[in-house]
Structure 1
Amino acid sequence: MILTVIENMPSVPLDRFAGWLTETPDVATPAVTLAVVRPWAGDAIPMLADCGDGLLVLGGQGSVVDPASPWLPATRDLLAQASVAGLPTLGLCLGAQLLAAATGGQVQVAAPPGREAGVIDIHPRPEAAADALLGGLAADVPADHPLNGGVLAAMPSMHADAVVDLPSGAVWLASSRLYPYQAFRVGSAWGLQFHPEVSEEVFAGWAELHDDVDTAEVVEQFRARADDVEHAGRAIAHRFAALVRERAALAVTA
């Protein structure tokens, strides 16, 4: 069972997801095998038929139209195909923006609210409760919380571009104080604007790249909420891996 991962640049790796996605709840459960595609190093973006049982597109420092990343149009095409093919698909940060752009949404470069940096509260929409990826986390939020009042997860964030319009038919799942479209689903694909995969070390490295980010402050936020960040990140990884295993099982019985 194969999960294809597209790494858009070496500074934005799978990080902690590499271990979490391959963890299994018991010895009888087969592990997911990761196939990492590195277009920045010359790897070709795969065809949909070659993606195995799932697809994960990571983030990057550029925008959805970054001319320094000539593989992005092919990645957008792949995301659009995967979302309607029933393939479990996950886009993180830039990956989420590429998913939105690929399926009819809109992404704004350097959005007016400004850079969202640090560990932020992610608030569930009512639709999150029944969602196949985020429903487990949403179950921990009191059922009677006001709209956007409860906290789904504490998550690292580091972006200035943002999804400003969801694709037609998308399910809006979560928001933050600064940006509304923190999580959404299009067909069998999920977009998460935040970074459930990132470690403190990698996060600090990203902060150093931006003059408008106080590295010490965002690292302190990460450390102060490290347990919450790890709990939610691991839960998302485990649930996505379970969806990949379910897809693989269906392929075997088909």
Structure 2
Amino acid sequence: MRPVLVLTHAPHEGPGRIAPALDAPVQVRTVLDVADPRLPALDALSGIVVMGGQMDADDDRGHPGLAAERRLLAAAVDADVPVLAVCLGMQLLGLALGAHLHRRTGTEIGFGPVDVVADDPVLGALGVRPTVLHWHSDSVGLPVGATLLASTAATPVQAFRAGSALGLQFHPEVDVGMLDLWLATRDMADDLDADEIEVVRADGATHLPTLVPAAEKAFATFGESVRARG
């Protein structure tokens, strides 16, 4: 079976619970600071997963590899390759499909509900108003022709479907261990005071026992599309 390409942008923002749910080989690459990265050809892949990061999705001067990621994502949608894009990954996917990035449009950090507004075979496993982990300050518009799947007041586009690609602004890949890592990582938690960190930690203890198994079902459904491509 062809591998799933996982594009990461920070050592602490790996695929989390996504990778084991795929039941497929995984190839992890970090290319954001490479001006001309050699990414695998689409016919060598069964799917693509794009993770989060602290940089702006359009910061090609600071991180020239982002342009190559966007080109790959646009080509993947055209070729009907399964794509799962999370947080920065969703913003890159949106830009690749012609949407606009909105910088600093409303910071959301911590657990809170999203309103699911349309059916989707992957996202649907989370329920109609799941409480999920948010960790972003930028957002992206809805690409032309894409289906809006989830929304919050602060971030109107929390999830969308564009053909073979699913974008999620929030972080269902996170489990307790990954959350602890984020709360101990300066790049992630610098803007949080000690009380805010403890609130996020306590909310994780409350919500992750329900969220993690639901997310694993969602990722397994994505894995079915990956295995169907073979």
Distance 1:242 1:202, change over 3 A: farther
Instruction: Measure how far apart 1:45 and its partner are.
Output: 4.7
Q: Comparing 5-14 with 199-208, which one deviates more in the overlay?
A: 199-208
> What is the rounded CA distance, in whole Å, between the counterparts of 1:175 and 1:154 in structure 2?
12
Q: For 1:223, what is the secondary structure of its paired residue?
A: helix
Partner of 1:167: 143
Partner of 1:75: 69
1:35 correspondence with 2:27 = yes
TM-score normalised by structure 1 residue count: 0.80
Consecutive unaligned residues of structure 2, counting only runs of 5 or more, are none
Q: Which runs of 4+ in 1 moved over 4 A?
A: 40-43
Letter in structure 1 aligned against 2:77: S
1:58–1:95: 8 Å Cα contact kept in structure 2? yes
> What is the rounded CA distance, in whole Å, between the counterparts of 1:240 and 1:195 in structure 2?
15
Consecutive unaligned residues of structure 1, counting only runs of 5 or more, are 23-31, 142-150, 249-254
> Which one has the largest radius of gyration?
1
Matches within 5 A, 1:165-244: 165-198=141-174, 199-205=178-184, 208-212=188-192, 214-244=196-226
1:92 to 82, 86, 101: 86
Percent of aligned positions that are identical: 34
Q: For 1:44, what is the secondary structure of its paired residue?
A: coil
1:105 correspondence with 2:99 = yes
Partner of 1:144: none
1:9–1:40: 8 Å Cα contact kept in structure 2? no
Instruction: Measure how far apart 1:4 and its partner are.
Output: 0.8
Q: Which digits, 9 at most, give the CA deviation of each residue in 1:56-84, with x for residues without a partner?
A: 11110111123332200000111111112
> What is the rounded CA distance, in whole Å, between the counterparts of 2:208 and 2:138 in structure 1?
25
Instruction: Measure how far apart 1:94 and its partner are.
Output: 0.1
Partner of 1:10: 11
Q: For 2:63, what is the secondary structure of its paired residue?
A: coil
Q: For 2:190, what is the secondary structure of its paired residue?
A: coil
Q: CA RMSD in A?
A: 2.1
Partner of 1:135: 124
2:33–2:65: 8 Å Cα contact kept in structure 1? no
Q: Which digits, 9 at most, give the CA deviation of each residue in 1:69-126, with x for residues without a partner?
A: 2200000111111112110001100000000011011111111xx310111212111x
> What is the rounded CA distance, in whole Å, between the counterparts of 2:43 and 2:69 in structure 1?
13
1:117–1:158: 8 Å Cα contact kept in structure 2? yes
Distance 1:36 1:50, change over 3 A: farther
1:196–1:236: 8 Å Cα contact kept in structure 2? no
TM-score normalised by structure 2 residue count: 0.87
Instruction: Measure how far apart 1:167 and its partner are.
Output: 0.9
> What is the rounded CA distance, in whole Å, between the counterparts of 1:4 and 1:35 in structure 2?
5
2:46–2:82: 8 Å Cα contact kept in structure 1? yes
Distance 1:40 1:217, change over 3 A: same
